[in-house]
Amino acid sequence: MSPLSHPISLAVPPEPTDHLQGSPHARVTLVEYGDFECPSCKVAATTPKLLLERFPNKVRFIFRHFPLQEAHPHALMAAEVAEAAAAQEKFWPMHDVLFHNQAHLKDKDLHRYAVDLGLDLARYTAEMDDHIYLQKVREHIEGARRSHIRATPTFFVDGIVQDISFGMKALHDAVATAVARGG
Confidence of residue 8 (pLDDT cuts 50, 70, 90): confident
CA dihedral sign, ordered 46, 47, 48, 54: positive
**3 in a structural domain:** no
d(CA 129, CA 31): 29
pLDDT at 183: 56
Q: Quick: pLDDT tens for 33-51.
A: 999 999 999 999 999 999 9
For the chain, how many structural domains are there in total? 1
CATH of the domain at 102: 3.40.30.10
**11 in a structural domain:** no
**110 in a structural domain:** yes
The type of residue at 76 is L
Characterize the bridge pairing of strands 154-157 and 160-162. Answer: antiparallel
